[in-house]
Structure 1
Amino acid sequence: MRSAPLDVPTALRIGRGTLRKMRQNLAWAIGYNSIALPVAAGIFESALGLVLRPEIAALSMSGSSIIVAVNALALKRLRLPAAAASPAKPAPGTPAAPRTAHGA
């Protein structure tokens, strides 16, 4: 980003998108852990017969981390406001437009 005032809408859009992804990832982590931790602790073993082997727990935790990372990568698809039109610069090696005298 440059220090141009016209970049403020872009910075705001990036900030809002980042906060939205953070909330999504936090919601996913809370939901996943609220289900997975009691199962891993064996709370449902006597009632429902649910037992989670340590290998499966490690794989599912890695899968959860991958889901969070992929969700964060979706920020690359964030639509940013169009850049302000800047004056066209001549290509290197082309002569500049002739200047006219004022008041002539």
Structure 2
Amino acid sequence: MSPEDARRLGLQSGDLAEVYNEEGNGTFLVYVTDAVKPGMLFLVMYHWRGTSNSLVSGYTDPKTTIPWYKGTRVAIHKVAGTIPSVQQTASLLQQNKFD
């Protein structure tokens, strides 16, 4: 998440946030980075610990028949309190570094 969005939402790296829309929801660990543009999020689409696939819109472009995977609108709010099991096992940094 961008620093601008994090500031506006009162979030910091390491916080837990619920990301939700009419399709579904998920709880994610916040990582603030300037690599993500304001107004956008980067979420993992597939990981053995969980995914953001439940948030994806069911819309498919009628002309191309391509699903709108990366155009899904969501809302975000900070999860109150702590969830120790999530915070102890989650990572703030990417694990798939390429050299």
TM-score, normalising length from structure 1? 0.23
Which structure has greater helix proportion?
A: 1
TM-score, normalising length from structure 2? 0.24
Larger gyration radius, structure 1 or structure 2: 1
Which structure has greater strand proportion?
A: 2
